[in-house]
Every structure is written in C-alpha cells, then in structure tokens.
Amino acid sequence: DTGVSQNPRHKITKRGQNVTFRCDPISEHNRLYWYRQTLGQGPEFLTYFQNEAQLEKSRLLSDRFSAERPKGSFSTLEIQRTEQGDSAMYLCASSLAGPDTQYFGPGTRLTVL
Amino acid sequence: SQQGEEDPQALSIQEGENATMNCSYKTSINNLQWYRQNSGRGLVHLILIRSNEREKHSGRLRVTLDTSKKSSSLLITASRAADTASYFCAETSGSRLTFGEGTQLTVNP
C-alpha cells in the first residue's frame, strides 16, 4: 500500500496526558499537512511542511501542539496536557507540491476523557 | 476557519437519480478540489478544477467552476447506494485547503 498511513487509528486518553500521532506520507511527496476535523464539520488546517521545514501554522495550533518532520519523511504531531476540546479526528495529507492534489490518510481519532 | 459554504447541507435521493451539490467560496483561488468522506473515515480526492477551467469530468462526476460568482458545483450522475457519503469542496489559496462544512448525500436503494 503506497498511500498515506497514520498511527494509531484510535487513541483514548485522560485529560492532562500527552499524546503523539504519526503520519507516513506517500514516499515521493515533499509536502505534508495536518488537519483536524470535529463531528459534522469539514477539516481545518493546522500546519504543513515542505520537506523538513514547517512553513505555516494555523492559529488553531496552540502552544500545546507541536509537529515535527525531522528527516523530511514521516511526521509526528504531539499534543501536551490534552483537554476534552482536543477530541477530534486528526488527518494527515501529502502532496507533491502546492497547490496540488492532497492525498489524505485514514486519520487518528482522539478521544479525551 | 471555514470559508466555504455548501448547499444543500443534506440531500437524499433514489438510486439512479442525479445529485447536485453547490459550493461557494470567498477568496481568490488557485484551484478547487472536491473530496468524499465515508462515515468516520479519511477523505478521498475526487476531482481538482483549476481557476482557469470552467468544467471538468471524471467518470460519473462533473464539476463546474464560476470564478466570477466564486462558486462551484458537483454533479453525480446515475447515483448508486455506494455514493452515500459526505462531500466537501476545498479551496486552495496558497498551500492550505480550506474546506466547507460539506453536503451529506444519502442514496436510497
């Protein structure tokens, strides 16, 4: 399978805990994006990388959120001190270049109790 | 923040009928993309239409773009039960996608 993969698919955590998600993009894609989607809404942009450089961050990405793409391949999204409002689907996408078709992974569903 | 608006929010049709969904956006765009999302799953890319294109076809899908009205429409012809999903338009300005709230399409067998 050469699509975008995300792990884990589901994560249940208690409020105040830290969580980390991983995204593996399509191998030849330079750009990697993170989005968040809550129930009944469209995805909202969080951040994106061009290779290992983080080029844009949304105001939604509070200081509890950090994303990395250390070698320009996979990326991690960490949420520190989780809050119930962080419960959402976290989607990763990749593309060859921007603006171009973005291919999405299956998402990580986070539930904060 | 969400910028696009989709109309209708929900659409229920019989198998074999056509489904039309509309999308409006607010900014100047490089292109506009349509995605499908089955319940609780990731998004599947359907079609991309560039700002200098007016119409594009892919199988049973037809997308139009009117940049003067900042609107787009997605037509699905001869719908099937498997087309039941949420459909989102997403405008591309810069590198990010800005999604609308989507149209929930139900195709009844």
Determine the residue of chain B that is closest to A4 in CA distance. Answer: B42
Instruction: For residue B74, give how far its alpha carbon lies from the nearest alpha carbon of chain A (Å).
Output: 17
Longest dimension (CA), chain A: 38
Q: Is B45 on the interface with A (CB under 8 A)?
A: yes
Other residues' Cβ atoms within 10 Å of the Cβ of residue B6 = 23
Pairwise pLDDT comparison (A4 vs B28), residue with the higher score: A4
- For residue A106, which of A24, A16, A19, A15 has the smallest C-alpha distance? A24
Residue B4 binned pLDDT confidence (cut-offs 50, 70, 90): low
Determine the residue of chain B that is closest to A43 in CA distance. Answer: B99
Q: Is B42 on the interface with A (CB under 8 A)?
A: yes
CB contact (8 A) between residue A99 and residue B99? no
Q: Which residues share a beta bridge with A94?
A: A32, A103
What's the CA gap between A49 and B53, in Å, rounded? Answer: 28
Pairwise pLDDT comparison (B42 vs B98), residue with the higher score: B98
pLDDT at residue number B105 = 96
Contacts of A31 in chain B (CB under 8 A): 95
Q: In chain A, at which residue ranges do the beta strands (DSSP E only) sit?
A: 5-7, 10-13, 19-24, 31-37, 44-50, 53-57, 65-68, 75-79, 88-95, 103-104, 108-112
Average pLDDT over residues A82-107: 91
Three-state DSSP at A93 gives strand
Give me the DSSP letters along B53-75.
Answer: -SEEEETTEEEEEETTTTEEEEE
Respond yes or no on whether the N-terminal peptide bond of residue A99 is cis (omega within 30° of 0): yes
Q: Which residues share a beta bridge with A92?
A: A34
pLDDT at B20 over 60: yes
Contacts of A55 in chain B (CB under 8 A): 95
Q: Give long-range contacts, CB 8 A cutoff, 24+ apart: B48-55.
A: B48/A101
Closest in A40, A45, A107 to B42, CB measured: A107
pLDDT at residue number B28 = 80
pLDDT at A53 over 90: yes
Q: How far from A74 is each of A10, A24, A25, CA to CA, in Å?
A: 18, 5, 6
Average pLDDT over residues A13-27: 97
What's the CA gap between B27 and B50, in Å, rounded? Answer: 14
Closest in B35, B90, B96 to A48, CB measured: B96
pLDDT at B2 over 80: no
Residue A16 binned pLDDT confidence (cut-offs 50, 70, 90): very high
Interface residues from chain A to B (CB-CB < 8 Å): 4, 31, 33, 35, 40-45, 48, 55-56, 58, 89, 91, 93, 98-99, 101-107, 109
pLDDT at A76 over 90: yes
Residue from A1, A41, A58, A87 whose CB has the most chain B CBs within 10 Å, to mutate: A41
Two tokens, residue B5: 């608006």
Residue B3 binned pLDDT confidence (cut-offs 50, 70, 90): low
Closest in B41, B96, B100 to A45, CB measured: B96
Two tokens, residue B74: 């997605």
